[in-house]
């Protein structure tokens, strides 16, 4: 049987997905801290796509979920959910959100954190922080049996069969009960138990159920309390277990991974771009796996090639994992000097599936690689970050834990407002909610978003809707609605996103890191005898002066010598050594108008120099191309740059066009940023041919891109162009079929901001 690969990424939840259930091949259920339970229905099979319906929307976190199989009384089955409000909600899947539940089960005195259903569908089992587990007969909703004896939170429950119940507790014991409530036995485990699952009859190990918890060990047991085996491999709390139809085990953990176990060995590790994978479940009919994680995404994985996601979506998932950040506390103390360098990855193989190796990269970063036995190679799974926000020391605010709780002074003489923020959240969405909750004018949105970004710089995890971490620590996000003038509004009015009126730039940088990398690469050129390309000591001194002025924004007095040296490193050095030079070039094109004029009037001008260097060739290193496109986008910051971008539109479009369907996340976001700037430019200097050319490209991007940030930017660029003329709307509707492209984008990223801009675009197309 082949490896599991991504089948679908289901986006819609606005907070951690805490529990998932996979009752049949066409239905997935998910519960989230966003107070909702969602039902995902399979719409198309190849590749799989799903439609989402909210089934419950309460006022507290939903942390547990189960499904009662269909019966004569309930032919569609029952969705059972529980959470912080202590109430267990039971309802038929066919019911609308506004309909009453079939039952509300009352009895627990704290968060309901575990649910299961007996195989015959006649009993619901629940576990709670109130130290109780309860049995609820289906249909006899007013009665329940308390399973006595627990002395701490009951984290896990399993209805092993129609007469036997197993519980896992924070008091480090597993208990086996009869359906009557009688305790049969207690099993000491040595650590907190967070997960349980029944194993298929005649399991090869001889075990009947499995447990896992805080010690990161999976244990296989018989019902009489005998431990059969231990499975080692996870590196942090294990939150969930499930059994595949063939007897293999699946587990999810706070080490960001889902692992598949066969014959007591880990045979596959699926790392997620998330802080934690809270839940895993298995479809009993086809063996597909569903996961719920802290990045708010529900993901389905399959071993069947006909159910694989399209290659671009699989590549996007792999890129998200690679680009994600790993908090320092998740890996413990690391002696950087003793870590091997990148050569280790080619010289030594791993010893087991899922083995993690830290590498001291040439740029000073610490990267994590994981051994894949199937691919027989090390796979990059993220970069370790050491930031205050990733220290693991959470801050409590209004009963919820956060990475940050900022004080925001809005009005003199009044106490500051509290702004809570988690690294896994979208800064824009947090700022929007903060403004709404505190009845602040929409003009504050940009300031608050920038405040969050600046105070959490480089600490954002890859599962947000930002661009992800840049290779040289130069992360920058586009904040939707940046600096847009706010119209006069009534409190109930909703600000328009379209048209975008301000140019975007990407200018934040860690200048010292970039400069040190240039010096490192320069020394390598010297050592290799390439003195015609290397910089001499006086060049390095001149370059350092230029970098210092860039950092201090004193670019009106830059020496042309330093500018020429940056251009040299960006366009003449070997391609694998150009990235830091291109990074500085990106800063130059967004700096002083005098510098931009110098860059654009030299021979060849900077656009021609980049093209001649091969940066836009199909064989180019994509990070180089991405940084060059950012440099082009930054031209729009000055009037001189705007004129050059306008004069060179045809060439720039030719260079960029070949990359509009790339799966490289940072590159496609850079391209859509460039297209937004051209759309803004055309609002003051309309050119029909150029507008239609951009709309044609954007239509292709909306169909091919999968990242929500790239889709959002492409939509903003599209909508801004449509605002220029009704003729463009007609052409977009009739010739370019933009409506279909917009629908495609909406289906891939169901975020509120995307729904809003899509609605505005549709209004234009229909008008």
Domain boundaries, the chain: 1-52+200-309, 58-188, 325-385, 388-455, 507-659, 665-767
Helices (H), 334-426: 344-347
Residue 435 is predicted with a pLDDT of 81
Position 387 confidence tier, pLDDT thresholds 50, 70, 90: very low
Q: For all residues of the chain together, what is the average pLDDT?
A: 86
Position 551 confidence tier, pLDDT thresholds 50, 70, 90: confident
CATH of 388-455, one of 3.50.50.60, 3.10.20.870, 3.90.850.10, 3.30.70.1230: 3.10.20.870
Helix, strand or coil, per DSSP, at residue 487: coil
Give the mean pLDDT of 683-690. 90
Give the span between the Cα atoms of 293 and 272, in whole angstroms.
Answer: 8
Instruction: List the single range of 45-49, 67-71, 383-387 with lowest mean pLDDT.
Output: 383-387
Give the span between the Cα atoms of 67 and 682, in whole angstroms.
Answer: 54
Instruction: List the single range of 260-274, 318-332, 372-386, 498-512 with lowest mean pLDDT.
Output: 318-332
HSE-up of residue 313 (Cα within 13 Å, Cβ side):
21
Residue 736 is predicted with a pLDDT of 87
Q: Which of 346, 342, 371, 374 is nearest to 359 (CA)?
A: 342
382 or 289: which leads in pLDDT? 289
Position 453 confidence tier, pLDDT thresholds 50, 70, 90: low
Contacts of 296 (CB under 8 A, 6+ apart): 11, 13, 14, 15, 16, 17, 32, 34, 424, 463
Instruction: List the single range of 237-246, 407-416, 520-529 with lowest mean pLDDT.
Output: 407-416
Residue 456 is predicted with a pLDDT of 65
Position 672 confidence tier, pLDDT thresholds 50, 70, 90: very high
- Report the chain's terminal Cα–Cα distance, integer Å: 53
Instruction: List the single range of 136-145, 248-257, 410-419 with lowest mean pLDDT.
Output: 410-419
- 472 pLDDT more than 60: no
DSSP symbol at 49 = E
- 632 pLDDT more than 90: yes
Q: Which of 416, 381, 385 is nearest to 403 (CA)?
A: 385
Give the span between the Cα atoms of 163 and 5, in whole angstroms.
Answer: 37
Position 66 confidence tier, pLDDT thresholds 50, 70, 90: very high
Residue 487 is predicted with a pLDDT of 33
For 58-188, CATH gives 2.130.10.10
For 648-662, what is each residue's pLDDT tens digit? 999 999 999 999 999
- 401 pLDDT more than 70: no
507-659 has the same fold as 1-52+200-309? no
Give the mean pLDDT of 615-631. 93
- 485 pLDDT more than 70: no
- 573 pLDDT more than 90: yes
Instruction: List the single range of 505-509, 587-591, 757-761 with lowest mean pLDDT.
Output: 505-509
Give the mean pLDDT of 265-287. 93
Order of strands, sheet of 103-105, starting from the edge strand that comes earlier in the sequence: 62-68, 78-83, 88-91, 103-105
For 204-227, what is each residue's pLDDT tens digit? 899 999 999 988 999 999 999 999
Residue 207 is predicted with a pLDDT of 95
30 or 510: which leads in pLDDT? 30
Q: Is the pTM of this model over 0.85?
A: no
For 293-312, what is each residue's pLDDT tens digit? 988 999 999 999 999 999 99
Give the mean pLDDT of 89-96. 94
Order of strands, sheet of 133-137, starting from the edge strand that comes earlier in the sequence: 112-117, 123-128, 133-137, 145-147
Share of the chain above pLDDT 70, in %: 88
For 22-42, what is each residue's pLDDT tens digit? 999 999 999 999 999 999 999
Give the span between the Cα atoms of 709 and 713, in whole angstroms.
Answer: 6
User: Which CA distances in Å does 340 have to 171, 345, 365, 607?
Assistant: 41, 9, 12, 39
- 55 pLDDT more than 80: yes
Position 77 confidence tier, pLDDT thresholds 50, 70, 90: very high
HSE-up of residue 655 (Cα within 13 Å, Cβ side):
25
For 166-199, what is each residue's pLDDT tens digit? 999 999 999 999 999 999 999 999 889 999 999 9
| Beta carbons of 134 and 125 less than 8 angstroms apart | yes
- 481 pLDDT more than 80: no
Give the mean pLDDT of 454-483. 36
CATH architecture observed for domain 1-52+200-309: 7 Propeller (2.130)
644 or 423: which leads in pLDDT? 644
Q: What beta strand segments (E) does 272-376 contain?
A: 277-282, 289-293, 297-302, 325-327, 356-360, 366-372
Give the mean pLDDT of 614-629. 93
Residue 571 is predicted with a pLDDT of 96
Number of other CB atoms surrounding residue 617 within 10 Å = 14
For 507-659, CATH gives 1.25.10.10
| Beta carbons of 572 and 612 less than 8 angstroms apart | no
Q: Which residues of 227-255 are buried (b: 16+ CB within 10 A; e: fewer)?
A: ebeebebbbebbbbbbbbeebbbbbbbbb
Give the mean pLDDT of 692-716. 92
Position 374 confidence tier, pLDDT thresholds 50, 70, 90: confident
Q: What are phi and psi of 616, to 5 degrees?
A: -105, 15
Give the span between the Cα atoms of 99 and 91, in whole angstroms.
Answer: 9
């Amino acid at each position: 049987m082949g490896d599991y690969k991504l089948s679908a990424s289901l986006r819609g939840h606005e907070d951690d997905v805490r529990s998932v259930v996979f009752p049949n091949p066409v239905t997935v259920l998910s519960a989230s801290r966003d107070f909702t339970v969602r039902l995902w229905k399979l719409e198309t099979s190849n590749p799989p796509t799903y439609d989402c319906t909210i089934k419950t929307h309460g006022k507290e976190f939903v942390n547990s979920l189960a499904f009662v199989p269909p019966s004569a009384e309930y032919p569609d089955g029952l969705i059972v959910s529980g959470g912080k409000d202590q109430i267990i909600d039971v309802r038929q899947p066919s019911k609308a959100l506004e309909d009453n539940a079939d039952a509300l089960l009352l009895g627990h005195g704290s968060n309901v954190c575990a649910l299961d259903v007996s195989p015959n569908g006649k009993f619901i089992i629940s576990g709670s922080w109130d130290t109780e587990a309860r049995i609820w007969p289906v249909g006899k909703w007013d009665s329940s049996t308390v399973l006595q004896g627990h002395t701490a939170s009951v984290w896990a429950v399993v209805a092993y069969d129609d007469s036997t119940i197993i519980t896992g507790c924070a008091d480090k014991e597993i208990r086996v009960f009869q359906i009557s409530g009688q305790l049969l036995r207690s099993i000491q485990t040595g650590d907190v138990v967070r997960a349980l699952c029944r194993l298929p009859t005649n399991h090869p190990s001889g075990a009947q159920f499995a447990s896992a918890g805080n010690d990161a060990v999976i244990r296989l047991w018989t019902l009489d309390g005998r431990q059969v085996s231990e499975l080692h491999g996870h590196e942090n709390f294990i939150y969930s277990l499930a059994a595949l139809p063939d007897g293999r085990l699946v587990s999810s953990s706070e080490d960001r991974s889902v692992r598949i176990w066969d014959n007591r060995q880990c045979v596959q590790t699926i790392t997620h771009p998330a802080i934690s994978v809270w839940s895993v479940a298995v479809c009993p009919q086809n063996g597909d796996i569903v996961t719920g994680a802290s990045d708010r995404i529900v993901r389905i994985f399959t071993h069947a090639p006909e159910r694989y996601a399209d290659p671009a979506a699989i590549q996007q998932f792999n890129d998200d994992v690679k680009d994600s950040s790993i908090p320092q506390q998740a890996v413990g103390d690391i002696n950087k000097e003793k870590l091997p360098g990148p050569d280790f990855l080619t010289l030594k193989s791993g010893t087991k599936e899922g083995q993690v190796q830290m590498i001291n990269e040439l740029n000073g970063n610490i990267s994590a690689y994981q051994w894949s036995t199937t691919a027989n190679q090390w796979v990059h799974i993220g970069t370790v970050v050491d930031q205050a926000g990733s220290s693991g020391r959470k801050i409590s605010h209004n009963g919820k834990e956060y990475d940050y709780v900022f004080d925001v002074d809005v009005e003199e003489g009044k106490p500051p407002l509290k702004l809570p923020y988690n690294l896994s959240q979208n800064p824009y969405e947090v700022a929007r909610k903060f403004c709404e909750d505190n009845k602040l004018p929409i003009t504050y949105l940009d300031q608050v978003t920038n405040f969050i970004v600046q105070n959490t710089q480089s600490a954002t995890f890859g599962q947000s809707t930002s661009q992800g971490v840049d290779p040289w620590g130069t992360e920058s996000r586009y904040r939707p609605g940046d600096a847009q003038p706010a119209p006069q509004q009534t409190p109930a009015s909703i600000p328009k996103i379209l048209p975008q009126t301000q140019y975007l730039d990407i200018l934040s940088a860690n200048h010292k890191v970039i400069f040190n990398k240039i010096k490192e690469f320069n020394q390598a050129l010297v050592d290799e005898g390439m003195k015609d390309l290397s910089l001499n000591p006086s060049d390095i001194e001149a370059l350092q002066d230029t970098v210092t002025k860039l950092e201090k924004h004193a670019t009106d007095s830059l020496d042309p010598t330093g500018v020429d040296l940056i251009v040299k490193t960006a366009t003449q050095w070997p391609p694998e050594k150009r990235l830091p030079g291109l990074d500085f070039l990106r800063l130059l094109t967004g700096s002083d108008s005098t510098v931009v004029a110098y860059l654009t009037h030299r021979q060849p001008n900077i656009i021609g120099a980049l093209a001649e260097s091969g940066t836009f060739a199909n064989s180019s290193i994509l990070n180089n191309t991405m940084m060059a496109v950012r440099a082009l986008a930054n031209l729009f910051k000055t009037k001189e740059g705007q004129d050059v971008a306008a004069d060179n539109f045809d060439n720039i479009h030719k260079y960029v066009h070949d990359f509009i369907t790339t799966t490289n996340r940072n590159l496609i976001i850079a391209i859509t940023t460039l297209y937004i700037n051209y759309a803004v430019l055309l609002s003051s200097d309309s050119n029909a041919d150029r507008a239609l050319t951009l709309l044609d490209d954007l239509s292709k991007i909306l169909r091919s891109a999968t990242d929500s940030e790239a889709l959002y930017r492409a939509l903003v660029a599209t909508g801004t162009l449509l605002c220029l003329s009704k003729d463009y709307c007609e052409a977009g509707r009739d010739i370019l079929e933009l409506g279909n492209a917009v629908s495609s984008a909406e289906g891939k990223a169901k975020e509120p901001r995307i729904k809003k801009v899509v609605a505005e675009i549709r209004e234009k197309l229909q008008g």
